[in-house]
Structure 1
Amino acid sequence: MSEGLRERKKRETRRHVRETALGLFVERGFEHVTIAEVAAAAGVSANTVYNYFETKENLVLPPDEASPQRLADMVRGRRPGEGAVPAVLRTLRGEVRSRDRKLGLTDGFGRVLEMMRAAPTLTARLEDLGRQMTDALAAVLAEETGDSPTAPLPRVVAAQVGALHSLVYAEIGRRTAIGEEPDTVAAAVLDILGAAEELLGGHILTYARGKDPQCSE
């Protein structure tokens, strides 16, 4: 079904408000910009901003892009017979190659990341989000392998995946901050993912394989 005029207008307004806010936050610092100032700069009311973003932090880390279920969803959606870790690696590679916006493969992402790291509330939210992602992934791995939620193996695997996921974002932020082009950054991140896959190897790559429908009997 094609997007209607009303839906398109709402999506464009939401994007405009967020881009305006990010510009102000990068220029002046997250804690020095109010919602009222974001609204004025975007040409909308403060209520409109809150209609799209429940909190100021959501302007930087919207729940639909910064979901605690991000890694778990990659595993839930893996191919039949595919291991959990290869599914995450494949998904990340696809996002890098397609220059997915959520990865920050844009010219301005480095400055946005610096702004986030300078704001205690955003830094705390990033750290909490990372923990939630790891916990959610560990829970899915435990459930699908029949392990206890507190068993060490699901948590160890989830911690490894979570650390790699964080490294990808940190590398993108570092390289864009020093002015590298998105294509150069993407190539470097793909190299990191390749190195991670080579080092992980063995049991971890075959751990928690997705069920093959042909082998369900």
Structure 2
Amino acid sequence: MQRDTLTAMSEGLRERHKRRTHRRIADVATGLFLERGFDRVTVAEVAEAAEVSVNTVYNYFPAKEDLVLPPDQASPRRLADIVRERPPGRSAAQAVLDRLREEVERRDRSLGLTEGFGPFFAMMRAAPTLVARLEELGHRMNGELTAVLAEETGTAPEDPLPRVVAAQISGYHSLIFGEIGRRVTAGERPDAIAKAVTELLDAIEEMLGAPMLGYAVREERPCSE
């Protein structure tokens, strides 16, 4: 029993150390990128400033772009996961709209609705490799969503409907992020941006109509007797 307790404590300490190291590397890298630009900072310079080895940086962040867009936060499965997790009675499109509304309401960091995000966004837009990563992320997100929609609706491989619906959902998801980026760049405050984006979500939902909002509705679970 004592050995198990010591092992658990040791594993807990290692995990906390890993989290602190991960956070320190990311914070140091962000500071350097904001100061000098993404393309003008090397991984070796990040490692030196964070007081770790270059190999340690790559152990936590396999690619330099991961220092800005970590896979666990900028996941190609984002839309697919939202659809998978939707409650009974909600369609795929409605689930994504609901999640976006929730994130806007709580000023989620993933949307950039925080003070000081403007310089960070400008840094990303100025780096071609990060712009390319974001574009690739959008394509992969759309592909993952298409696969989930086809699976859940039992659609034949040649049926275009899942691709059409996925493209629509991906489109308004990108529209929201683009709107936030445009307003952040213009220097608007998070509360003002949130208000404008909520109005944009209202307009999107009004224009989608019954076919989109009624596609891939998750069935209600039968009540247990």
**TM exceeding 0.5:** yes
Tell me if the contact between 1:68 and 1:133 (Cα under 8 Å) persists in the aligned partners: yes
- Tell me which residue corresponds to 1:188: 196
**1:5 Cα deviation after fit:** 4.3
> Which residue of 182, 186, 192 corresponds with 1:178?
186
For residues 97 and 12 of structure 1, the distance between their equivalents in structure 2, rounded to whole angstroms, comes to 29
1:66 correspondence with 2:66: no
For residues 151 and 56 of structure 1, the distance between their equivalents in structure 2, rounded to whole angstroms, comes to 39
Percent identical pairs in the alignment equals: 62
Unmatched tracts of structure 2, length 5 or more:
1-10
- Tell me which residue corresponds to 2:145: 137
Task: Name whichever of 143-152 and 88-97 sits farther off.
Answer: 143-152
Aligned length: 214
The one-letter code matched in structure 1 to 2:125 is R
Counterpart of 2:222 in 1: which secondary structure?
helix
TM-score of the pair, normalised by structure 1? 0.91
For residues 112 and 158 of structure 2, the distance between their equivalents in structure 1, rounded to whole angstroms, comes to 33
For residues 191 and 51 of structure 2, the distance between their equivalents in structure 1, rounded to whole angstroms, comes to 34
Task: Name whichever of 183-192 and 9-18 sits farther off.
Answer: 9-18
**1:85 Cα deviation after fit:** 0.5
1:34 correspondence with 2:38: no
TM-score of the pair, normalised by structure 2? 0.88
> Which residue of 90, 112, 122 corresponds with 1:82?
90
- C-alpha change, 1:153 and 1:174, in structure 2 (3 Å) is same
**1:4 Cα deviation after fit:** 4.0
Aligned CA RMSD, in angstroms, stands at 1.9
Q: For 1:94-118, what per-residue CA distance to the aligned partner results, in whole angstroms no more than 9, with x for missing partners?
A: 1111222221212232222222222
Which of these two proteins has the greater Rg computed from alpha carbons?
A: 2
Runs of 4+ with >4 A deviation: none
**1:215 Cα deviation after fit:** 8.0
**1:41 Cα deviation after fit:** 2.1
1:96 correspondence with 2:138: no
